[in-house]
Amino acid sequence: MNHIRTASAPHLAAMLAGLTLPMAAAPALADFIEDSHAKIELRNHYLNRDFRQSNAPQAKADEWAQGFTTKIESGFTEGTVGFGVDAMGQLGIKLDSSRDRRGTGLLPYGRNSLEPDDDYSELGLTAKLRASKSVLRLGTLQPLLPVVVYNDTRLLASTFQGGLLTSQELDGLTFNGGRLTKTNLRDSSSRDDIGYGAATSDAFDFAGGSWAINPQLALSYYYGKLEDIYRQQFVGLVHTWPLAEGLSLRSDIRYFDSREDGAERAGRIDNRNFNGMFTLGVGAHKFSTNFQQQSGDSAFPFLNGGDPYVVNLVTYNTFTRAGLDSWQVRYDYDFAALGVPGLSFMTRYTDGRHAKTATVDNGREWERDTDIAYVVQSGPLKNVSLRWRNVTFRSGNGLTNAVDENRLIVGYTLALW
């Protein structure tokens, strides 16, 4: 088994030891214990990726693995400043793979041997402090913010190391700010320097927030800087318009402006990304149309270990190459309307054109996804989820990638207390 690596554990242990000294009195610990909870998430993931292009380095990637994620979250001690601690342990186990079928993102593999690891793991600790309506977290983080989104699309989720302050002191306004210094990728046991592509940085600093003007309308702004690599600004708007009983229109508009920073370790970065999603809900049906328009000479940048916060991020592709403009149509249906609660269906088609690379001037990419999911509603398997994802991806006009893919995912979450 790989060793569990916790580079910051000694520092956190010392911090937590200091924090727990004043908590000897039982009353102060009451909320710390009573508000705590723990759960274990099980995910069985099979992924088969068939490379259809003639020049592919391998014919297919085909792996099957079992993941376990345990999360323990404490409450806060009583007092003006409350203290708490969270812990997360992740373990991935190989069920089937080989060196000629590696590379699905489920399992790490040896740099020289190319053999997939039998297992891999991570332990994360987070100290937290609460004062009034503000919470500071230090340690392992999984942020979901426009400028940094952790990845949870394979066996285990990625994590970051650093600090995050979340404040809701003013009604309707949520502020987030912090610094990240390390990342743990979704298929890795190691903590690496934060970075973008092959370039690494000392830190990623970010700040911003959202303002709920009313229950239907929210505005947001964020700024992020990956030191000596890129700086990025985000402006967003989300609006929900109830049209009639069972009928609503949701608009989600996002704009990013990304430029190089400092020493430009990843080269010149020049990208503007304007994207949006419009969803019409009609009872159990949802009809969505998305657009994503990019300008500038480079691809849309986002952190290693994360995902881009764009509407045309789909199952296989991100549609964030330089110059790539894309659109999407999507349909969702909830079978509860037909008396089958727990069963849902999604299909979408995404088309991108005008991609620019060092050798291509007008590349094209398209992807078709189908997703069928069911959550068992009763009996001994209650709350077990089953999901089948089917993907077809093709590119052209100089881009030469072609993939057929299937994913089968079985999940279950068990509350420990």
Each residue of 64-111: pLDDT tens digit?
A: 999 999 999 999 999 999 999 999 999 999 999 999 999 999 999 998
Q: How confident is the model at residue 4 (pLDDT cuts 50, 70, 90)?
A: very low
Distance CA 316, CA 334 (A): 24
Tell me how crowded residue 263 is: count the other CB atoms within 10 A of its CB: 11
Q: What band does 351 get if pLDDT is binned at 50, 70 and 90?
A: very high
Residue 207 has pLDDT above 90, yes or no: yes
Backbone dihedral angles phi then psi of residue 130, each to the nearest 5 degrees: -125, 130
Q: Report the C-alpha gap between 33 and 134 in whole angstroms.
A: 20
- List the structure tokens of 56: 């592919």
Residues 21-61 have pLDDT tens digits of: 444 455 667 789 999 999 999 999 999 999 998 888 899 99
132 contacts 15 by C-beta, under 8 angstroms: no
Q: Which two tokens stand for residue 286?
A: 């949802």
With beta carbons less than 8 A apart as the criterion, state whether 307 and 313 touch: yes
Mean pLDDT of the residues in the chain? 93
Beta strand spans in 132-246 (E): 134-141, 144-145, 148-149, 159-167, 173-184, 192-193, 195-196, 199-200, 204-214, 217-226, 230-244
Mean pLDDT of 143-166: 98
pLDDT confidence band for 258 (50 / 70 / 90): very high
pLDDT tens-place string over residues 287-320 = 999 999 999 999 999 999 999 999 999 999 999 9
Q: How far is Cα 311 from Cα 294, in angstroms, rounded to an integer?
A: 13
**pLDDT at residue 14, as a whole number:** 45
> Rounded mean pLDDT of 13-18?
43
For residue 26, what pLDDT is reported?
57
Percent of the chain with pLDDT over 90: 90
Please answer whether residues 180 and 100 qualify as being in contact, where contact means their C-beta atoms are separated by less than 8 angstroms: no
By the 8 A CB rule, do 272 and 311 touch?
A: no
Q: Which residues contact 260 (CB under 8 A, 6 or more apart)?
A: 229, 230, 231, 266, 267, 268, 269, 270
What are the pLDDT digits (tens) for 158-188? 999 999 999 999 999 999 999 999 999 999 9
Q: Residue 6 — very low, low, confident or very high, per pLDDT cuts 50/70/90?
A: very low
* % of the chain at pLDDT higher than 70: 93
Q: Quick one: average pLDDT of 237-253?
A: 96
Q: Are 155 and 45 in contact (CB under 8 A)?
A: yes
Question: Does this model's pTM top 0.95?
Answer: no
pLDDT digits (tens, 9 = 90+) for 213-231: 999 999 999 999 999 999 9
pLDDT in tens, 375-397: 999 999 999 999 999 999 999 99
Span 343-347, average pLDDT: 98
Angle (nearest 5°) at CA 275 between 274 and 276: 140
Tell me, rounded to whole angstroms, the distance of Cα 410 from its chain centroid: 19
Only one residue has tokens 């019409």, namely 280
Q: Which of 47, 33, 34, 148 is nearest to 96 (CA)?
A: 47
Q: How would you classify the pairing of strands 270-282 and 199-200? A: unpaired
Can you tell me the mean pLDDT for 359-381? 96
